Amino acid sequence: MDDRTAAERFSALAHPTRLRLFRRLMQTGPDGLAAGVLAEALQVAPNNLSAHLNTLSQAGLIEARREGRSRIYAVRIGATAATVGFLVDECCQGHPEVCGVVARRAEPAGV
């Protein structure tokens, strides 16, 4: 990952509503949630939620799929792992024992 991509992703998360939205989708995992469910759970107006979903999608952090009449949004686990990995890849100037906990937490489970 390059600096520009990482900055775009972190910028997308640098808003309280988008961060809450992203964390809610992380809790849900790859199954995702319908936009209406997200709007209700986060108490965000649907049009406002749509703008936040679009920002996260353009940053490559989430994806959407159709299920009937609903759009289901889910976190892109690989992209998320790469983004977190970007922060810890060069951790601790060659002393991984210092940053081991951070690196282990950044490892994607089952991916």
Domain ranges for the chain: 3-77
- Percent with pLDDT over 70 in the chain: 85
The matching CATH number, chosen from 1.10.10.10, 2.60.40.3080, 3.40.50.261, 1.10.3210.10, for 3-77 is 1.10.10.10
Per-residue pLDDT at 32 = 97
Q: Please give the model's pTM, rounded to 2 decimal places.
A: 0.83
Rounded Cα gap, residues 87 and 84, in angstroms: 5
Rounded Cα gap, residues 25 and 45, in angstroms: 17
Cα–Cα nearest to 10, from 77, 63, 78, 60:
60
In the sheet that 33-34 helps form, which strands lie side by side, from edge to edge? 33-34, 70-75, 62-67
Residue 21 has pLDDT above 90, yes or no: yes
The per-residue pLDDT for range 44-93, each reduced to its tens digit, is 999 999 999 999 999 999 999 999 999 999 999 999 989 988 887 777 77
Rg, C-alpha atoms of the chain? 15
**Confidence tier at 96 by pLDDT (50, 70, 90):** low
Residues forming beta bridges with residue 62, ordered by sequence position: 75
Cα–Cα nearest to 30, from 70, 66, 62:
62
